[in-house]
Amino acid sequence: MAQFLALLPARREALAGFLLTLMIAASVLPGISLLPAGMLGWSAALLLSGRLGRRQRIQTGWLLGLGVTGMAWGALQGGPLNLGQALAGNQGLVSLLAAVSFLRLVTRPESANGDAPPPRGRQALWRTLIGVHLFGAVINLSTVVILGDRMTTRGRLGKRRALALSRGFAAAAFWSPFFSAMAAALTYAPGANLGLVVLAGLPMAALSLWLTVREIDPEDPRLGAPFIGYPMNFGALWIPGLLVAIVLALHTLIPRWSILAIITLSAPLLTVAILLAREGRHAGRPLKAHIEQGLASTVNELALFLAAGVLAAGLTSLTRQFGDWLPFNQFGPTQAGLILMVMVGAAALGVHPVISIAACGVWLAPLHPEPNLLAITLLMAWAIGVPANPLSGLHLMMQGRYGIDGYAFLRWNGAYVLKCLGAGVALLYVYGALLGVSG
C-alpha cells in the first residue's frame, strides 16, 4: 500500500485514469456484479486523494464516518453488514461521471468568431445562458470555465456574468441525462422513465433561465455595467443530440438494459468514433491524455459520490433498526413538496444535494413511491439547491478561479431560489395529477 501511494503524482493520476477506464468497462458488463467496478473506483479515489481540497476532505470524511458508524451499529444489532452496498451502491453514478467526461474531447462551446468583439445586450445574455446550459448539460463544469475565462475583465466576472453562468449551468440538472443529478435520481428512484423525467424537467429549466434574464436585464442601467456575453457557436451540439438518439434507440431495443449503463458505454465509444473520424491515426493522443490526466479532474465528485454510497449503506442499516416508522404513510405531491423544501434548505446550509438524495432515497424506499414523481423531486432539489449552496462545487470553483465568495451567491440567489421553489412545488402537484398520484 505504501508503494502504491508513493508513486509520483503524474504516475498516480495515470494509474488512476487507467483504473477508472477499467471501472467504466466493468460497470456495463451485463449480468456481472458491480462490486469489481466499485473496488476499481475506490482504488482510483485512494490514488487521487492528494488532489482533494480541504472542504472536500472534511465533507468526505464526515460522510464516511457517519456511514461506517451506521453500518457498525446495524451489525451490532444483528443486522447484515452492507459492505457490497457501501463499496458499489453508487457505482452507476460514479461510472457515468467518468464516462461522460470523455465527451469533453469532442464537444466544446467554441467561439463563433474568435476575433470579433464580445456581444453585448439582451440577445448576448440569452445566447450565453442557453449556451452554458446546453453545453454544460453534456460536458459539465468545464463549460463554465471555458466561457468564464473568455468573459472576464481583468480576471473578474462581475455579478451579472457570474449569475448567468452559474444559474444557466445549474438549471441543466432539471433534465440532462448526462448530469450527475440524473444518475443520482435514477439510482434512488429505480423504475423511473428517463424520457418522462427529462420532459418534466424542461419547463423548470426554461422558467429558471427566464427568471435569470428578468433579474439581470442587461439593458437596465440601474443594474450596473452592460452585460458582455460569449460569442457562442452552437454547431457542436449535434454530438450530444446524436448521443441522446443512440441512448434512446438502445433502450428501446434492449429495455432491460439500464439507462445509466447505456450512457456509460455509449459516451466513450461515440467519443472514440468521432476522434477516429476527425484525427485518424492520431486519435489515440487525446484519448491517452484524457485517461492519464483528464479523468483525475473528476476526483472531487468521485470521492463525494463514493462516500455518499457508504452513507446510504449506513442509513439502510439504521432504518432496519427503527422498524417501520416513517414520517408519511404515502408519497404524493404534498410529501414531495415538503421533501423538496427540506432538501433545498439543507443545500443552503452547505449540504451537497447527492447527500440529501441518498438519505431521502433510502428513507422513502419502504413507501415504494411512484418512481417518476420521486425522480422529478430529486432533480428539482439538485437544480434549485446548487444555486442556494455556498459550498457547492460550482461556487467553490468560481470562488477559486474568479474571486467570488460562495456566500455572495447565497445572497444573490435568495429570491431566485424561492421563486423556483414555489414553481417547483406547484409543478409537483401538476405532475402528481398527470401520473395519477394523490396526496
| % pLDDT > 90, the chain | 33
* Inter-residue contact 17 to 296 (CB < 8 Å): yes
Please count the other Cβ atoms lying within 10 Å of the Cβ belonging to residue 171: 29
Quote the cell numbers at residue 217.
436585464
| % pLDDT > 70, the chain | 91
The pLDDT value recorded for residue 238 is 82
* Residues in contact with 44: Cβ distance below 8 Å, sequence separation at least 6, in sequence order: 16, 17, 19, 20, 23, 295, 302
The pLDDT value recorded for residue 415 is 95
Q: pLDDT-derived band of residue 283, with 50, 70 and 90 as boundaries?
A: confident
pTM: 0.81
* Inter-residue contact 358 to 67 (CB < 8 Å): no
Provide the residue type at 156 as one letter: R
What is the rounded CA–CA span in Å between residue 292 and residue 267?
18
Quote the cell numbers at residue 88.
458499489
- pLDDT tens across 303-328, in order? 888 888 888 888 877 766 665 566 77
What is the rounded CA–CA span in Å between residue 424 and residue 336?
10
Burial 291-310 (b: 16+ CB within 10 A, else e): bbebbbbbbbbbbbbbbbbb
- pLDDT tens across 161-214, in order? 899 999 999 999 999 988 889 988 998 999 999 889 999 999 999 999 999 999
- Number of separate helices (H) and strands (E) present in the chain: 21, 0
What is the rounded CA–CA span in Å between residue 378 and residue 35?
26
* Inter-residue contact 243 to 227 (CB < 8 Å): no
- pLDDT tens across 131-144, in order? 899 988 887 777 88
The pLDDT value recorded for residue 322 is 60
Q: pLDDT-derived band of residue 109, with 50, 70 and 90 as boundaries?
A: confident
Per-residue pLDDT averaged across 355-372, rounded? 88
The pLDDT value recorded for residue 340 is 96
DSSP H or E segment with residue 69? helix 54-76
What is the rounded CA–CA span in Å between residue 178 and residue 160?
27
What is the rounded CA–CA span in Å between residue 96 and residue 260?
7
CA dihedral 231, 236, 238, 242 (to 10 degrees): -140
The pLDDT value recorded for residue 70 is 87
* Inter-residue contact 163 to 178 (CB < 8 Å): no
The pLDDT value recorded for residue 254 is 84
Q: pLDDT-derived band of residue 116, with 50, 70 and 90 as boundaries?
A: low
What is the rounded CA–CA span in Å between residue 20 and residue 44?
6
Quote the cell numbers at residue 44.
482510483
Domains held by the chain: number: 1
Domain that holds residue 150: 2-435
Quote the cell numbers at residue 272.
472514440
- Please state whether 81 falls in left (phi above 0), alpha (psi between -120 and 50) or beta: beta
- pLDDT tens across 284-304, in order? 899 999 999 889 888 888 888
The pLDDT value recorded for residue 384 is 97
* Mean pLDDT, all residues of the chain: 85
What is the rounded CA–CA span in Å between residue 425 and residue 413?
18
Quote the cell numbers at residue 160.
451579472
- pLDDT tens across 201-249, in order? 999 999 999 999 998 876 665 655 667 787 777 776 788 788 888 888 8
- Please state whether 217 falls in left (phi above 0), alpha (psi between -120 and 50) or beta: beta
The pLDDT value recorded for residue 165 is 93
